[in-house]
Structure 1
Amino acid sequence: MSLSLIQEVIAAFGEAALRMMAAGLDGIEINARNGNLPAQFLSTEINRRRDLYGGAFANRLRFIAEIVHEVRRRIGDTVPLGLRVSIEPMDEVGPSSKEIQEACKALGPFVDYFNVVTGSLGTYAGSSHIVPPMGVSSEAVVSGAEILRAATGCPVLVAGRITRPEVAERLLADGQIDLCGMTRALIADPELPNKAKSGQAERIRDCIGCNQACIGHEGLGAPVSCILHPETGRELALGPRSGIRHPRRILVAGGGPAGLKAAAVAAERGHHVTLFEQEKHFGGQARLAALIPGRGEFGVMVPNLVREAQEAGVKLVPGTLVDLNLVQREGAEAVIIATGSLPHRSTIDHDEIAVWDASQILGDEAGVSGSVVIADERCDWVGMGVAEKLVREGHRVRLCVSGDMAGQELDSFTRYHWLGILHRLGVDIVTHVRLAGIVGRAVSFEHVASLTPIIWEDVETLVLARSYQSNTELEEILADFDGDVHVIGDCQTPRTAEEAIYEGLMAGLAV
């Protein structure tokens, strides 16, 4: 950057602050975190300048300091001004924690608070800490914030994964932080503050830290939403939820995420809704996902959805298979089919190698021994989850994925967090390969581009992480049903919980 461009950028920060004030904001926060431009000026690894903006620490601090002074000059002394910093970049590229502390000591007199985060966009290792996924402690940033607070004497705001009001209240009451920030928690439940204030904290729809539709959507250039609350980001398109003049008897078949959401929305609108689930427990594949190491919060999805259905007045009936006779006995005027999908069972000939589906591994239905190869054609949480589970149980694990990388379908923050875990645990990851067959105790793959055979010998267990097949049985049974039939979720096409819950929402609005 030329000196004139630096001055242009500094002035632009001040002008942006003025526009924010004109728009009605109560305060301004300067974003100098996670390896963006102001933080890059502080880093000796990135900033190789030899002028007054590089070299000595005071020079590297100059860019941020001049931004702070320019913004303060533009907004005046009475408007709250914060500075967001990454107390620990979690890599070797960003400024060190000590340098951040020294920078904040120098800037403390000119700001009202520090917003403290961790991580850096400069590296994969650092980026995995920016939007910490499920499995990361809700208080992961608190200790760093306490250090910065002690060093500067300034108030600190902490976010990260604080999703429950009682956790925030405890941290505030204990004096560990001064302000609590929530982003994903409010995307999941925009009414969280009101519920907490009115003593209804138990009704809060908990963020599970999946990152799928919030930061994951941002990475795709799509509107931010939430898999648990697809209404978020679609408020204008959906409009206010209207009631109905003529309630109908609605039968929902399937108590997974899609069925539970559809039932809740339909009942909230005034319909008489009964949901039947074949299994003894509700949740479908969300319960399976919760069995993966570090992914237990997927299980929170189920009580969230069950509670919302119960509050809306849905009659929930577990342990009951829906057929035509049941539909007729219930007098259903419309049926929402959400019966999910089923795993493909192996048709591979094998005598000397145990072959299991990933769902059997996660459900502890399989006997696993020795060397394990996972054939992962999904490139999502399943193959990575099975790999982590088995390596933690003491097995030698090779994860073979057909895509460019393991976890290719996940958001980048979750993917690199998980890739780091698997690498530290010693999982061997092979990309761009697909399963070809088994000969004796050898498993044969081929490269997806060159078609070159790749063979691994002395394999004792092969795990298949494959796409599922839609359960269309009930749809076929109800082909001649006189009422409305809506097919949603995996029984339409196997995908993720995000699509399932969204389709549940739309079906509940359509009946």
Structure 2
Amino acid sequence: MDYPMLFSPLLINGMMTKNRIVATPTSDHFEDKALGGAGIVIAGHAIVEPGRSSYSSGDEPDAFAKYEVEATRRRILKVHQGGARASIEIFHGGEHARVKDFARGPDAKVRADGVEVRAMTEADMEEVLEHFARTVRNARDVGFDMVFMHFGHGWLPAQFLSPRTNHRTDEYGGSLENRARFPLRILETVREAVGADFPVDMRISAVEFMEGSIEFDDVRQFIQWAEPYIDAVQISAGVDIGIEGNVHMATTNFEPHHPNAHWAAQVREVVQIPVGVVGAVMSPDEGERLLQEGAVDLIALGRPLIADPEWPRKAQEGRASDITPCLRCLQCYHISTERRHVGCSVNPRFWNEEFIPRTLTPAVSPKRLVVVGGGPAGITGALTASRRGHEVILLEREGELGGQLRWIAQERFKEDIAAYLAHLVRQVESSSVDVRLGVEATRDSVAELRPDALIIAVGAREIALPVPGVDLPHVLTGNEAVEREHEIGEAVVILGAGQIGTEIGLELATFSDRHVTLLDTGDTYARRGNTLYREGLRQKLEAVAGRLEFAWGTACERIEEDRVLARDADGARRELRADTVIVAVGMTPRDVEAQRFYGIVPEVVTVGDCVRPRIIQDAVFEAHSYAMNL
């Protein structure tokens, strides 16, 4: 077996799990993860105190109430059908809960939204402890194999533990021993409620990444105090409230892989219970290595199982190269998208389970499909159609596949995109798709192929900026800058502070001694990026503030051999030294080129950036869903 440790069993307080993979509660859809081969599936959450502990709504019901418990029981059945152990997150939002009257927390305050937070009295604590006991007892009795206590990410237990949120002066505040008192009472109550032989897991943040937060040494000490009451611990980081900590709870592509593993390893040195880690363990190779090195005992996967729920199954069967990699784009996280565009860039089924099936159905009437364009949209459409039994010819005018991904994948912060591009190419190479590279598709040449249907995915092109001097030899487009970084001089001016321009500037300022100035007529960098992507980007930009600056409300008027002449919104002239100028003012769709193919056959669809330049999620969804129904 390729991954002997990853697929070895583990005994947790009498419960045997078939492998070391834990599926975290990243969505309310558990079935795909269970069928995909995870050993433990955390099937969503149960709030502890209805009306005062939900982060989503004051109306969220008790999962074990009379008219809810049968649906909760079905979560277990969905998990068990895949041979996994069923767990459930036990959750109390504390001062951040959505409530109808008041919230509970360690301190008294009024939240920014006007909700009163009442400092918990001894009587309040007793009441909440009773809620915890009832909830975990119900979870055990309805058939869950274990419970998962959420003590991280800034929720109620973490609020007591962290000096950032606990400013009490009584026996529940001040010293770590005092701040740990109520959280330990919760765990003691839970253990008494479920009994000595029922598995109890706990998640906690090693570091919160917020000013005034708890130190890791204190977190590790708390885990040691908690050990008598729990059977496993999962090490995470960050908080779910406060955007600067949120991007360390769910990391962006600007952070390294498995960033929490070193903290987990330090916890494992001081406890006897199994230690798990969550956070950007992207591949089976990474998971196996952490287990082999003795850093952890369990690998918890969140977004990797959103990108590909069959991650465990493919790894177990020797098909790790078929795993669709997560991009860490955070489109799957509702906070990132303000609940308006939630989905997965590489898995069209996520969030669309009611109409995107788990498995493809064979085409009733196989057709000859011609796909024009070999970017992510074209490749996805070609693969989906081919897997359904259609004859597929893919035409790509360049000498290699990938479209715009070919340049993005070369950036240092885009190793996840590079992995995805390599995955797409592997999938095409092992498919029946007839790939024809270096072919400039025309209306006549496509018609000669006698297709029954067409997918047009010709993408977008970089916008040319019509200013004097743009044709000088030291002026590069964004794509040229990525490919010819060695030619870029010391003083760099980038025209355009969208995602492309800002990321190029960040790379140059981070990995060299160059000084970068970004000119933009607006007032915000990467304005089309989602909320958490932009926060992750901000933190990286802050780290290079001395070598990178923005000139907002400023337009380039002329490029000369060694400088850029610009004018700001007040009409003032600016002159900037420029050894290299990079034009990155955006992309424009190849819509005219796409429209030329209409009328060859009745069945034609345009997908991806040739409709409108957008994100990978849109390109993949459009191509897959169309080919799924062809």
**TM-score computed with the length of structure 2 as normaliser:** 0.74
Name the residue aligned to 1:444.
566
Name the residue aligned to 2:627.
508
Aligned with 2:416 (options 297, 306, 316): 297
Secondary structure of 2:366's counterpart equals: coil
Partner AA of 2:550 in structure 1: V
Q: Deviations over 1:145-170 (max 9, x none)?
A: 11112123332011211122233223
Name the residue aligned to 1:344.
463
Alpha-carbon separation, structure 2, partners of 1:124 and 1:138: 20
Alpha-carbon separation, structure 1, partners of 2:483 and 2:175: 57
2:398–2:438 Cα contact (<8 Å) kept? yes
2:265–2:294 Cα contact (<8 Å) kept? no
Name the residue aligned to 1:359.
479
Partner AA of 2:566 in structure 1: S
2:458–2:609 Cα contact (<8 Å) kept? yes
Alpha-carbon separation, structure 1, partners of 2:145 and 2:588: 52
Aligned with 2:256 (options 121, 134, 137): 137
Trace 1:40-439 onto structure 2 (pairs within 5 A). 40-121=159-240, 125-134=244-253, 136-211=255-330, 213-215=331-333, 219-221=337-339, 225-239=343-357, 241-350=360-469, 355-364=475-484, 367-376=487-496, 378=498, 380=499, 382-391=500-509, 392-401=511-520, 405-425=524-544, 426-430=546-550, 433-435=553-555, 437-438=557-558
Between 233-242 and 492-501, report the one with greater CA deviation.
233-242
- 1:260 offset after TM fit, Å? 0.4
1:488–1:507 Cα contact (<8 Å) kept? no
Partner AA of 2:352 in structure 1: R
Partner AA of 1:235 in structure 2: E
The verdict on how the C-alpha distance between 1:431 and 1:154 changes in structure 2, with shifts beyond 3 A counting, is: farther
Alpha-carbon separation, structure 1, partners of 2:486 and 2:629: 42
Alpha-carbon separation, structure 2, partners of 1:439 and 1:183: 47
Secondary structure of 2:406's counterpart equals: helix
Secondary structure of 1:129's counterpart equals: helix
Partner AA of 1:210 in structure 2: C
The verdict on how the C-alpha distance between 1:168 and 1:428 changes in structure 2, with shifts beyond 3 A counting, is: closer
Q: Deviations over 1:182-213 (max 9, x none)?
A: 111111111111112222222222223333x2
2:520–2:551 Cα contact (<8 Å) kept? yes
Alpha-carbon separation, structure 2, partners of 1:16 and 1:433: 55
Alpha-carbon separation, structure 1, partners of 2:471 and 2:252: 39
Alpha-carbon separation, structure 1, partners of 2:167 and 2:210: 18
Alpha-carbon separation, structure 1, partners of 2:430 and 2:349: 18
2:520–2:555 Cα contact (<8 Å) kept? no
- 1:287 offset after TM fit, Å? 1.3
- 1:359 offset after TM fit, Å? 2.3
1:374–1:399 Cα contact (<8 Å) kept? yes
- 1:108 offset after TM fit, Å? 0.8
Name the residue aligned to 1:456.
574
Alpha-carbon separation, structure 1, partners of 2:301 and 2:590: 39
Partner AA of 1:356 in structure 2: L
Alpha-carbon separation, structure 1, partners of 2:572 and 2:233: 53
Q: Deviations over 1:275-317 (max 9, x none)?
A: 1111011001111111222213212222222333444421111
Name the residue aligned to 2:44.
none
Partner AA of 1:98 in structure 2: D
Alpha-carbon separation, structure 2, partners of 1:402 and 1:117: 40
Aligned with 2:596 (options 460, 477, 480): 477
The verdict on how the C-alpha distance between 1:434 and 1:215 changes in structure 2, with shifts beyond 3 A counting, is: farther
The verdict on how the C-alpha distance between 1:402 and 1:121 changes in structure 2, with shifts beyond 3 A counting, is: farther
Alpha-carbon separation, structure 1, partners of 2:552 and 2:134: 48
The verdict on how the C-alpha distance between 1:89 and 1:217 changes in structure 2, with shifts beyond 3 A counting, is: closer
1:293–1:389 Cα contact (<8 Å) kept? yes
Q: Deviations over 1:106-157 (max 9, x none)?
A: 1111101110012345655543322223353334222211111212333201
Alpha-carbon separation, structure 1, partners of 2:477 and 2:611: 22
Q: Deviations over 1:356-392 (max 9, x none)?
A: 33222122289543433323353x2x12221123223
Partner AA of 1:150 in structure 2: E
Between 475-484 and 188-197, report the one with greater CA deviation.
475-484
Partner AA of 1:273 in structure 2: V
Secondary structure of 2:479's counterpart equals: helix
The verdict on how the C-alpha distance between 1:399 and 1:44 changes in structure 2, with shifts beyond 3 A counting, is: same
1:344–1:466 Cα contact (<8 Å) kept? yes
- 1:241 offset after TM fit, Å? 2.8
1:405–1:431 Cα contact (<8 Å) kept? no
Name the residue aligned to 2:153.
34
For structure 1, list consecutive stretches of 5 or more residues without a partner in the other structure.
Answer: none
Partner AA of 2:436 in structure 1: V
2:469–2:559 Cα contact (<8 Å) kept? yes
**TM-score computed with the length of structure 1 as normaliser:** 0.90
1:135–1:296 Cα contact (<8 Å) kept? no
Alpha-carbon separation, structure 1, partners of 2:423 and 2:270: 41
Task: Count how many residue pairs are aligned between Structure 1 and Structure 2.
Answer: 504
Partner AA of 1:2 in structure 2: M
Return the structure number with greater helix share.
1
1:374–1:464 Cα contact (<8 Å) kept? yes
For structure 2, list consecutive stretches of 5 or more residues without a partner in the other structure.
Answer: 1-118
Secondary structure of 2:301's counterpart equals: coil
Name the residue aligned to 1:13.
132
Partner AA of 1:480 in structure 2: G
Alpha-carbon separation, structure 2, partners of 1:352 and 1:305: 35
